[in-house]
Chain A
């Protein structure tokens, strides 16, 4: 069952998270949790044969390649007013130019860089927080769980964008790092919930009891018993947070709340919109950034589905 994040309104959660969220005292279900740590080679074997995983990661890697190498292929920088305005794609300006005479292609590839940065850093921070809080709450239980739960619930209900608007309004965000940090600090709750319920259900399984009885310390138990069994879940959670951070970042940039001194895909769309590109029909300006986001985030989602099938053999048979 794919694990999916509610960033765009309406992507369902796996059963265990959903039931856990609905009636939090219900025992968590275990529809497709991996039974035992899989040998790395076995994971790789199946991963490389799963077309969804291959397709998704292929797209993401292609985008990453474009982000890394793309800027070297052009002499233009994204913000310089280099040429004629509002030009459609040509051999000189591969993606055309903006209303200010900027090269759309270089804006696009630099924008991809910013997207990956925000996704990785923002997603990474959210992941660390979500996994850390969820794990601790699930494993320790008791009052620690209650406190962390309340914290999670509160941050969960507050609309991320609202917080970001407030913060960014007062704090001039001038780097994508800052933006990523802010995004990371506000989008961890659903991951915390998911990890918490997974931890809950794993905690009560026998092999953990055995480890505890044989005197392993908490840290050892977490490292050697729980983490390997949750590794697939954790990986998929990160992928979703990555995608989600990119989407939120794009919205922020579109609102003008992101860094204005550099370029991002969301900012491209903002600029294009403000310059009435859609009325002028300068499709080369506003189509690429959105398509880029769809490619990266969509690729991540599809990759995730493929990974789910790799990790949960039950899904493979279908």
Chain B
């Protein structure tokens, strides 16, 4: 197993109390697996992703354990995590367009970053150039300032830079959210290619866009209000979801080529609960058309069939 997450719980400190962003997440990702992490805004997926590489100042690790390639990831300890960052765990952030400092040439940033991580730049430079060319950029990019590059070029540069040291785990945090559809597809394909070429062992692709996950992910993990709802191979999630939330999500997706003239597109009425003081029991209860008495007790995230886990009493029944 490449990545193992056990009861991971991460809260945000806020003026009004702790925001329970990730509450008891347990899942595993195999070598070479691309797992999509989906859910609506505020469900905790970004927090989950961030917690695996760098907790920001307001996050705190409340419980749980993360293991990568058999070694424990010291996610609660910022200093100790440094040894793993970039080398074992890496991230392509949501803000790739502004991830490079505007006053330094791209190549200089790469050099200084790598040297600061005890990597001889001159040794990796040929590989860096090779990968840049692979994604459709030329070595010239290194000689440019970020302002001279287009958004797409910066995105791809950051993808190459982040994966240069062949990390075991790559977290791609909403990297397609700001792009148009064709660019999304291109970036998605790049991610798959990186995995296929072995630049990255496994990947967590965080997005709210199920459509793109269907294209590139092997498995999809759906989160809701800080809890895991369902995890299954991509085909299953889209074709035969068991959790009511997932099913509603899928059915609320418009299908390419289908025109909705008579019927309305079904959304999901209501909004997710506040994570400051989430309700007891299943957090989807209030919006779930299948809710019944037992839902007042929180359903465990159990495996219904090999590779398919769901947290729902109805689904497990």
CB atoms of A and B under 8 A apart anywhere in the complex?
Answer: yes
**Chain A positions near chain B (C-beta within 8 angstroms):** 316-317
Residues of A with C-beta under 8 A to B57: 317
Q: Chain B at the A interface: mostly helix, strand, loop or mixed?
A: loop
A316 to B57, CA, bound (A): 13
5 intermolecular pairs with C-beta atoms under 8 Å apart:
A316-B15, A317-B14, A317-B15, A317-B57, A317-B58
Complex Cα distance, B58 from A317, in Å, reads 8
B14 neighbours in A (Cβ, 8 Å): 317
Q: Which chain A residues border B58 with CB–CB below 8 Å?
A: 317
Task: Give 1 or 0 for each of B9-26: 1 = CB within 8 Å of chain A CB.
Answer: 000001100000000000
Bound-complex Cα distance A161 to B14 (A):
47
Interface digits, B262-275 against A, CB 8 Å rule (1 contact, 0 not)? 00000000000000
Kindly identify, within residues 1 to 48 of chain B, every residue whose CB is under 8 Å from any CB belonging to chain A.
14-15
**A268 to B60 Cα, complex, angstroms:** 57
Shortest CB–CB separation between residue A189 and chain B, in angstroms? 27
Chain B: minimal CB distance from A240 (Å): 27
Which partner residue on chain A sits nearest B147 by CB separation? A26
- Identify the closest chain B residue to A318 (Cβ): B57
* Chain B neighbourhood of A317, CB < 8 A: 14-15, 57-58
Q: For residues 57 through 114 of chain B, which have their beta carbon under 8 Å from a beta carbon of chain A? A: 57-58
Q: How far is the CB of A43 from chain B (nearest CB, A)?
A: 15
How many Å from the CB of A51 to the closest CB on chain B? 15
Range of interface residues on B (Cβ < 8 Å)? under 10
Could you tell me the distance in whole angstroms from the C-beta of A49 to the nearest C-beta in chain B? 10
* Chain A CB within 10 A, most for which of B14, B15, B57, B58: B15
Alpha-carbon distance between A310 and B64 when the two chains are bound, in angstroms: 36
Complex: A316 Cα to B14 Cα, angstroms = 10
Q: Which residue of B lies closest to A313 (CB)?
A: B15
Name the residue of chain A whose CB is nearest to the CB of B15. Answer: A316
A316–B58 CA distance with the chains assembled, in angstroms: 12
- Give the distance in Å from the alpha carbon of A317 to the alpha carbon of B15 in the complex: 8
Q: How far is the CB of A309 from chain B (nearest CB, A)?
A: 12
Minimal beta-carbon separation of B98 from chain A (angstroms): 10
Taken residue by residue from 158 to 181, chain B's Cβ proximity to chain A (1 for < 8 Å, 0 otherwise) reads as: 000000000000000000000000
Nearest 4 A/B pairs, CB to CB: A317-B58, A316-B15, A317-B57, A317-B15
What is the chain A residue whose CB lies nearest that of B58? Answer: A317
Whole-angstrom CA separation of A316 from B15 in the bound complex = 9
Closest-CB distance, A313 to chain B (whole angstroms): 9
Residue of A nearest to B13 (CB): A317
Return chain B residues, CB-CB under 8 Å to A316. 15
A317 to B13, CA, bound (A): 9
Question: Please, how many angstroms separate the alpha-carbon atoms of A317 and B19 in the complex?
Answer: 14
Chain A residues, Cβ within 8 Å of B15: 316-317
* Shortest distance between the CB of B16 and any CB in chain A (Å): 12
Q: Which residue of B lies closest to A46 (CB)?
A: B15
CA distance A317 to B14 in the complex (A): 8
B145 to chain A, nearest CB (A): 13
Give chain B nearest CB distance to A26 CB in angstroms.
9
Q: Nearest chain-A residue to B14 (Cβ)?
A: A317
In the bound complex, how far is the Cα of B57 from the Cα of A317, in angstroms?
10
Within the complex, the shortest CB–CB distance from B101 to chain A, in Å, comes to 14
Q: How far is the CA of A269 from the CA of B116 in the complex (A)?
A: 55
A173 to B101, CA, bound (A): 52
Q: Whole-angstrom distance from the CB of B151 to the nearest CB of chain A?
A: 13
Give the nearest-CB partner of A317 in chain B. Answer: B58
Task: Give chain B nearest CB distance to A6 CB in angstroms.
Answer: 23
Q: How far is the CB of A117 from chain B (nearest CB, A)?
A: 40
CB of A25, distance to nearest CB on chain B (Å) = 12
Give the complex CA separation of A257 and B2 in angstroms.
78
Cβ < 8 Å to A, chain B residues 218-275 = none
Give min CB distance, B154 to chain A, whole Å. Answer: 16
A133 to chain B, nearest CB (A): 30
A297 and B235 CA atoms in complex are apart in Å by 67
Chain B nearest CB, measured from A234 CB (Å): 26
A119 to B81 CA separation, bound complex (whole angstroms):
53
A39 to B: closest C-beta gap in Å: 16
Chain A nearest CB, measured from B47 CB (Å): 16
Q: What's the least CB distance linking B100 to chain A, in Å?
A: 16
Distance (whole angstroms) from the CB of A316 to the closest CB of chain B: 7
A151 to B14, CA, bound (A): 46
CA distance A317 to B59 in the complex (A): 12
Q: State A31–B58 Cα separation when bound (angstroms).
A: 18
Taken together as a complex, chains A and B put the C-alpha atoms of A168 and B16 apart, in Å, by 56
Q: How far is the CB of B90 from chain A (nearest CB, A)?
A: 27
CB distance from A263 to the nearest CB of B (A): 47
In the assembled complex, the CB of A38 is this many whole angstroms from the nearest CB of chain B, namely 15
**CA of A15 to CA of B232, assembled, Å:** 46
CB distance from B265 to the nearest CB of A (A): 23
CB A129 to nearest CB in B, in angstroms, measures 33
Q: Looking at the assembled complex, report how far the CB atom of B285 sits from the nearest CB atom of chain A, in whole angstroms.
A: 30
A73 to B213, CA, bound (A): 77
Task: Give A200 Cβ to nearest chain B Cβ, in Å.
Answer: 19
Minimum CB–CB distance from A299 to chain B (whole Å) comes to 26
A17 smallest CB distance to B (angstroms): 17
